[in-house]
Chain A
Amino acid sequence: MINSSNGMMSASSSSSAAGAGGNAPSPGLKTYFKAPEGRYKLHYEKGHPSGLMHYVQGKTATQATVAIVKDKPSPPTPLSQPSSGFSASSGVKSAAAKLLGGSNGSRTFGFVGGNGGSKNLSGSSKLGPFSSNSTNSNLALNFDGKGTYLIFNMGDGLFISDLNSQDKEPMKAIYFNNVYPVCHAFDQDAKDGHDLLIGLSTGDVYSVSLGQQLQDSGKKLVGAQHYNKDGSVNNSRCTCISWVPGGDGAFVVAHADGNMYVYEKSKEGAGDSSFPAIKDPTQFSIAHARHSKSNPITRWHTCQGSINGIAFSSDGTHLATVGRDGYLRVFDYPKEELICGGKSYYGALLCCAWSADGKYILAGGEDDLVQIWSMDDKKVVAWGEGHNSWVSGVAFDSSWSPPDTENSEQIVYRFGSVGQDTQLLLWDLQMEEIVVPQRRPPGGSPTFSSGSQTAQWDNATPLGTLQSAPSMRDIPKISPLVIHRVHTEPLSGLIFTEESILTVCREGHTKVWMRPGTPASQGSSNSETPLSTSLKDKPLLSSIK
Chain B
Amino acid sequence: MLLFVSQDAHEFLIFLLNELVDILEKEVQAAKDDTESSSLPPERTTNGSKVTQADDIHKEPLVTWVHKKFQGILTNETRCLRCETVTARDEIFLDLSLDIEQNSSITSCLKNFSSIETLNADDKFFCDKCCSLQEAQKRMKIKKPPQILVIQLKRFNYIEQLGRNKKLSYRVAFPLELKLIDYVEEADAVYSLFAVVVHMGSGSSHGHYVSLIKSHHHWLFFDDENVEMIDESAVQTFFGSAQEYSSNTDHGYILFYERDVTNNHD
Say if A and B assemble together. yes
Contact residues of A with B, CB < 8 Å? 1-2, 4-6, 8-10, 12-19, 22-25, 54, 58, 256, 306, 326, 345-348, 366-368, 387-390, 420-422, 468-469, 471-472, 488-490, 506, 540-545
CB distance from A152 to the nearest CB of B (A): 18
CB distance from B66 to the nearest CB of A (A): 8
Number of A-B contacts (CB under 8 A): 167
CB distance from A538 to the nearest CB of B (A): 12
CA gap between A75 and B179 in the complex, in Å: 56
Among the stretches B34-42, B49-57, B155-163, B194-202, the one at the interface with A is B155-163
Q: Given A9-B97, A17-B116, output 9 extra A-B contacts at Cβ < 8 Å.
A: A2-B67, A4-B14, A4-B93, A12-B140, A25-B244, A366-B173, A506-B242, A541-B168, A542-B160
Q: Is the CB of B95 within 8 A of A14?
A: no
Of B140, B173, B178, the residue contacting A420 (CB under 8 A) is B173
Task: Tell me whether A420 and B105 are in contact in the complex, defined as CB-CB below 8 angstroms, given that A13-B97, A19-B115, A488-B242 are known contacts.
Answer: yes
What are the residues of chain A within 8 A of B242 when measuring CB–CB? Answer: 422, 488-490, 506
The residue among A256, A347, A542 with the most chain B CB atoms within 10 A of its own CB is: A347
Q: Is the CB of A471 within 8 A of B188?
A: yes
Of B21, B101, B107, B112, the residue contacting A1 (CB under 8 A) is B21
The residue among A15, A367, A389 with the most chain B CB atoms within 10 A of its own CB is: A389
CA gap between A489 and B102 in the complex, in Å: 10
What are the residues of chain A within 8 A of B108 when measuring CB–CB? Answer: 368, 387-389, 421
B244 to A, closest residue via Cβ: A25
B99 to A, closest residue via Cβ: A13
What 1/0 flags go to B155-199 for Cβ under 8 Å of A? 011111100001010010101111101000001101000000000
CB distance from B181 to the nearest CB of A (A): 6
Of B102, B107, B115, the residue contacting A368 (CB under 8 A) is B107
Q: Is the CB of B177 within 8 A of A347?
A: yes
A58 to B, closest residue via Cβ: B237
Q: Does B92 contact A (CB under 8 A)?
A: yes
Q: Does B210 contact A (CB under 8 A)?
A: no
Task: Tell me whether A15 and B99 are in contact in the complex, defined as CB-CB below 8 angstroms, given that A472-B188, A544-B157 are known contacts.
Answer: yes
CB distance from A309 to the nearest CB of B (A): 15
What are the residues of chain A within 8 A of B265 when measuring CB–CB? Answer: 468
Q: Does B86 contact A (CB under 8 A)?
A: no
Q: Is the CB of B179 within 8 A of A2?
A: no
CA gap between A366 and B175 in the complex, in Å: 6
Of A4, A19, A387, A490, the residue contacting B171 (CB under 8 A) is A490
Task: Tell me whether A472 and B181 are in contact in the complex, defined as CB-CB below 8 angstroms, given that A19-B115, A544-B154 are known contacts.
Answer: yes
Q: Is the CB of B175 within 8 A of A542?
A: no
CB distance from A79 to the nearest CB of B (A): 35
What are the residues of chain B within 8 A of A8 when measuring CB–CB? Answer: 91, 93
B166 to A, closest residue via Cβ: A541
Task: Tell me whether A488 and B175 are in contact in the complex, defined as CB-CB below 8 angstroms, given that A2-B71, A4-B14, A544-B4 are known contacts.
Answer: no
Q: Is the CB of A390 within 8 A of B14?
A: no
The residue among A5, A18, A22, A306 with the most chain B CB atoms within 10 A of its own CB is: A5
Q: Is the interface of A mostly helix, strand, loop or mixed?
A: loop
**What would be 15 A-B contacts, judged by CB atoms less than 8 Å apart?**
A5-B92, A6-B95, A12-B113, A16-B117, A345-B179, A346-B177, A348-B176, A366-B173, A388-B101, A420-B103, A422-B103, A469-B190, A488-B242, A490-B103, A506-B242
Q: Does B29 contact A (CB under 8 A)?
A: no
CA gap between A75 and B51 in the complex, in Å: 87
CA gap between A7 and B117 in the complex, in Å: 17
Task: Tell me whether A5 and B159 are in contact in the complex, defined as CB-CB below 8 angstroms, given that A58-B248, A544-B154 are known contacts.
Answer: no
Q: Is the CB of A4 within 8 A of B138?
A: no
What are the residues of chain B within 8 A of A541 when measuring CB–CB? Answer: 157, 159, 166, 168
CA gap between A543 and B92 in the complex, in Å: 22
Q: Is the CB of B152 within 8 A of A389?
A: no
Q: Is the CB of B103 within 8 A of A14?
A: no
Q: Does B227 contact A (CB under 8 A)?
A: no
Q: Is the CB of B243 within 8 A of A489?
A: yes
What are the residues of chain B within 8 A of A490 when measuring CB–CB? Answer: 103, 171, 242
Q: Does B7 contact A (CB under 8 A)?
A: no
CA gap between A306 and B232 in the complex, in Å: 11
CB distance from B200 to the nearest CB of A (A): 16
What are the residues of chain B within 8 A of A367 when measuring CB–CB? Answer: 107, 175, 179
A368 to B, closest residue via Cβ: B107
Q: Is the CB of B94 within 8 A of A4?
A: yes
Q: Does B96 contact A (CB under 8 A)?
A: yes
Q: Is the CB of B101 within 8 A of A18?
A: yes
CA gap between A306 and B231 in the complex, in Å: 12
Q: Is the CB of B179 within 8 A of A23?
A: no
CB distance from B26 to the nearest CB of A (A): 12
Residues of B83-136 at the interface with A, using a CB-CB cut-off of 8 Å, are 91-99, 101-105, 107-109, 112-113, 115-117
Task: Tell me whether A9 and B173 are in contact in the complex, defined as CB-CB below 8 angstroms, given that A23-B103, A25-B244, A540-B159 are known contacts.
Answer: no
Of B113, B156, B159, B175, the residue contacting A13 (CB under 8 A) is B113
CA gap between A346 and B192 in the complex, in Å: 10
A347 to B, closest residue via Cβ: B175
The residue among A4, A256, A421, A542 with the most chain B CB atoms within 10 A of its own CB is: A4
The residue among A6, A13, A542, A543 with the most chain B CB atoms within 10 A of its own CB is: A13
What are the residues of chain A within 8 A of B176 when measuring CB–CB? Answer: 347-348, 366
Q: Does B251 contact A (CB under 8 A)?
A: no
What are the residues of chain B within 8 A of A6 when measuring CB–CB? Answer: 10, 14, 95, 97, 152
CA gap between A428 and B104 in the complex, in Å: 24
Q: Is the CB of A389 within 8 A of B173?
A: yes
Q: Is the CB of A348 within 8 A of B158?
A: no
Q: Does B247 contact A (CB under 8 A)?
A: yes
Q: Is the CB of B177 within 8 A of A388?
A: no
3 A-B pairs closest in CB distance:
A5-B93, A347-B175, A366-B175
CA gap between A22 and B109 in the complex, in Å: 11
CA gap between A542 and B159 in the complex, in Å: 6
Of B10, B76, B159, B190, the residue contacting A346 (CB under 8 A) is B190
CA gap between A545 and B104 in the complex, in Å: 23
CA gap between A171 and B188 in the complex, in Å: 51
